[in-house]
């Protein structure tokens, strides 16, 4: 996994877990720079993505968003699947 310096990166695809496809998805919802992820809600970003693209994205995209937001908020560069349980718990809580 990439281990960039969050203070010097300037492209989304330099973030851990973010490749060109996810970078394009972020651009679609007006996220152009890694620092723009700081403080964002990954579930809101996912919702915006689904609306902007006109289709439901794979829910694992939320995990990727969570990992990038976590990293940019001074968290360790963790693999996206480390956030799957947190996403599922959040969704289950919302559905109760």
pLDDT at position 86 over 70: yes
Give residue 2's pLDDT band: very low, low, confident or very high (50, 70, 90). low
pLDDT digits (tens, 9 = 90+) for 4-59: 889 999 999 999 999 999 999 999 999 999 999 999 999 999 999 999 999 999 99
Alpha-carbon gap, residue 96 to 89, rounded angstroms: 11
26 Cα distance to chain centroid:
8
Q: Which of 65, 57, 56 is nearest to 34 (CA)?
A: 65
Please tell me the predicted confidence (pLDDT) of residue 4: 80
pLDDT of residue 3: 65
pTM: 0.93
């Amino acid at each position: 996994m990439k281990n960039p310096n969050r203070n010097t990166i300037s492209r989304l695809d330099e973030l851990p877990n973010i490749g060109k496809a996810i970078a394009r998805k972020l651009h679609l919802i007006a996220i152009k720079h890694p620092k723009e992820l700081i403080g964002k809600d990954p579930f809101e970003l996912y919702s915006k993505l689904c609306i902007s693209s006109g289709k439901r994205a794979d829910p694992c995209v939320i995990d990727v968003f969570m990992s990038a937001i976590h990293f940019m908020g001074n968290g360790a560069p963790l693999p996206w699947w480390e956030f799957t349980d947190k996403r599922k718990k959040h969704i289950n809580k919302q559905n109760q």
